[in-house]
Amino acid sequence: MKKTKTVHPKETHKPKRAFITGITGQDGSWLADFLLGMGYEVHGLIRRASSFNTERINHIYQDPHIHGVHLFLHYGDLSDSSGLFKLLSQVKPDEIYNLGAQSHVRVSFDQPEYTGEVTGVGTIKLLEAMRETCPKARFYQASSSELYGGLDCPPKGYTEKSPFHPRSPYGVAKLYSFWAAKNYREAYGLHISNGILFNHESERRGETFVTRKITRAIGRIKVGLQKSLYLGNLDAKRDWGDAKEFVKAMWMMLQQKTADDYVIATGKTYSIKEFLEVSFGYAGLDWKKHVKFDERYLRPSEVDYLLGDASKAKKAFGWHNETTFEQLVERMVDHDFELAKKEKKSVS
Ligand code: NAP
Ligand code: G4F
C-alpha cells in the first residue's frame, strides 16, 4: 500500500491518543491492536455487563496499576450523553473512532427504536461531546454499505456518489449518523470522516452474522458437536473483505489533511451459497447435507446485492485489500475448527 505522509506516532515523543467506542466488538478489537502497534495510547468505551464482554481484547489488556500501560477502558454507553461528555473532557483524544452500535440488521427489525437510539442518535451525542470538549480531534464514523440498500448498483459497484436507500431500521439509523457526521463537518468545520464500509469478516466476527455462523457450524460438525445449520436467504450477495485490513483504512482516513467520505470494499461479490461451497468444500464437507432453511432468519426487507468501488480511497491514500475471499474463508474455517476441538475436549 502507498505510504501516507503522516509521522509515525512512535517517532514522536508524546503518543497520540485514540478513543474508541465499540472496542469490545470485531472492528474495535482489531483497531485497538493496530493503534497500540503504532504506539498510540488507546482509550476504549465498554458497557457494564453482568458477564465479561472483553473476550476480544483480553490479549491486550494490562493491569492499570502497572506503569507504562497504553490501553485504558472506561465504562459508558452511547445512550448516556453526560457520561460521553465527561469522558471526552478527561481523555482529550486526538482521534475518535465511533464503532459502537447495535450492528445486527435482522435484530434491528425486532428492536427498531433501540437501534435508532444507539446506532443513530448515539452518534450525535458523541459528536456534541467532541464539539464541546475536544473540537480539534479527528472523528471516524462507522458508516455502512447498508445505506445503499442493494438497489440499482452500478456495474463496478457503489461509490460515494451513489444514492442511498436503506432497507432496515439499522440502515435508517446509520443514514442518520452519516448525515449527522457530514453536517457537523460542514457546519462547524470539524475533521469528521465517514467510512462507508462493505461487509468485513474475521475469526473475531460475532457468531450470529452469517459468515461466522457458517464457519462455527463447520467446526462443530467436523468434531461431531452439531449436525445441521439453519439459515435464511442464501441468494443474497455480499462484498466480503478482511476486517483486519479494513480497520487500517479507518486510521488512514483520519491521517488525511482534509476530512471526507470513502467507500472501503474489495470490488468482488459472492452469494451466501458461494460462501457455503467454499467453506464446506475446504473442510471436506458437502453443505447440502447439513444446511436447512429456517424462515426466522429472513428479513422483512432484504438487501439482495452489495458491491463496492473503493477507487476514491485507493487514489487518496493508497488503500486496497490484499486478502482474497478464499484466504479469508479458509482462515475462519481453520480458526473455528481449532475452537470446536477445544469445545469438544471440554465437554468430553
Ligand atoms: P460488533 O462486533 O457488533 O461491535 C459493536 C460494538 O458496539 C461492541 O463493542 C458493542 O459492545 C458496542 N455497543 C453496542 N451497543 C452499545 C451502546 N449502547 N453503547 C456503547 N457501545 C455499544 O460490530 P463490528 O462488526 O465490530 O462493527 C463496528 C461498527 O462498524 C459498527 O458500528 C457497525 O455497525 C459498523 N459496520 C460494520 C460492518 C461489518 O461488516 N462488520 C460494515 C459496515 C459498518 P458489546 O461488546 O458490549 O456488545
Ligand atoms: O451476516 P449478515 O447478518 O450481515 P449484513 O446483514 O450484511 O450486515 C452486516 O454488514 C453490514 C455492511 O453491509 C453492516 F453494516 C452490519 O453491521 C453487519 O455487519 O447477513 C448477510 C446476509 C443477509 O443477506 C442475510 O439475509 O446473509 C443472509 N443470511 C442468510 N441466513 C443470514 C442468515 N444472516 C444471518 N445473520 N443469519 C442467518 O442465518
- In sequence order, the 6+-apart residues with CB closer than 8 A to the CB of 7 are none
List of long-range contacts for 2-11, beta carbons under 8 Å, 24+ apart: 2/317, 2/318, 3/318, 4/252, 4/255, 4/256, 4/317, 4/318, 5/255, 6/255, 8/38, 8/39, 9/38, 9/39, 9/40, 10/38, 10/39
Q: Name the percent of the chain in helix, strand, coil, to the closest 5.
A: 45, 15, 40
pLDDT band at 67 (very low <50, low <70, confident <90, very high): confident
Minimal-distance CA residue to ligand 2 atom 23: 236
Interval between CA 297 and ligand 2 midpoint (Å): 10
Q: Assign 135 to helix, strand or coil.
A: coil
72 forms bridges with which residues in the sheet? 43
pLDDT per residue as tens digits for the range 205-236: 999 999 999 999 999 999 999 999 999 999 99
Look at 314 and 68; give whichever has higher pLDDT: 314
Question: If you average pLDDT over residues 1-10, what whole number do you get?
Answer: 52
Minimal-distance CA residue to ligand 2 atom 12: 199
Residue 10: C-alpha distances to residues 4, 14, 71, 247 (Å): 15, 9, 15, 19
Distance of CA 207 to the CA centre of its chain: 14
Question: If you average pLDDT over residues 229-253, what whole number do you get?
Answer: 98
- Residue 300: what residue type? P
144 flagged as catalytic: yes
Residue 105 CA, closest ligand 2 atom number: 6
Minimal-distance CA residue to ligand 1 atom 43: 144
Question: Hey, which of 168, 200, 209 would you mutate to test ligand 2's pocket, going by the most ligand atoms within 8 Å of its Cβ?
Answer: 209
140 forms bridges with which residues in the sheet? 97, 193
Alpha carbon distance 169, 296 (integer Å):
17
Q: Return the exposure string of 200-213: e unless at least 16 CB atoms fall within 10 Å of the residue's CB, then b.
A: bbbbbbeeebbbbb
Q: Assign 201 to helix, strand or coil.
A: strand
Residue 232 CA, closest ligand 2 atom number: 31
Residue 98 CA, closest ligand 1 atom number: 32
Beta strands 17-21 and 291-293 are unpaired
pLDDT band at 68 (very low <50, low <70, confident <90, very high): confident
Question: If you average pLDDT over residues 52-79, what whole number do you get?
Answer: 91
Interval between CA 280 and ligand 2 midpoint (Å): 19
Q: Where are the beta strands (DSSP E) in 52-116?
A: 71-75, 95-98
- Whether 3 has a pLDDT exceeding 50, the answer reads no
Interval between CA 250 and ligand 2 midpoint (Å): 21
Active-site pick, 41, 95, 146, 245: 146
Query: Does residue 228 contact residue 269 with C-beta atoms inside 8 Å?
Result: no
114 flagged as catalytic: no
Q: What is the 3-state secondary structure (H, E, C) of 28-70?
A: HHHHHHHHHHCCCEEEEEECCCCCCCCHHHHHHCCCCCCCCCC
Beta strands 17-21 and 95-98 are parallel
Residue 79 CA, closest ligand 1 atom number: 18
Alpha carbon distance 13, 72 (integer Å):
19
What is the rounded average pLDDT for all residues in the chain? 96
Q: Where are the beta strands (DSSP E) in the chain?
A: 17-21, 41-46, 71-75, 95-98, 138-144, 191-197, 200-201, 229-231, 237-238, 241-242, 261-264, 270-271, 291-293
Length of the chain, please?
348
Q: Assign 144 to helix, strand or coil.
A: strand
Q: What residues are in contact with ligand 2 under a 6 Å CB criterion?
A: 103, 105-106, 144-146, 198-199, 208-210, 213, 231-233, 236, 238, 272, 297, 299, 302, 306
Give the percent of the chain with pLDDT over 70: 96
Interval between CA 206 and ligand 1 midpoint (Å): 9
DSSP conformation class of 285: -
- Whether 82 has a pLDDT exceeding 60, the answer reads yes
Active-site pick, 97, 140, 148, 170: 170
Q: What residues are in contact with ligand 1 under a 6 Å CB criterion?
A: 21-22, 24-28, 45, 47, 49, 53, 77-79, 99-103, 118, 142, 144, 197, 199-200, 206
Question: If you average pLDDT over residues 170-185, what whole number do you get?
Answer: 98
Query: Within a 10 A sphere around the Cβ of 306, how many other Cβ atoms?
Result: 23
Report field, pTM of the whole predicted structure over 0.75: yes
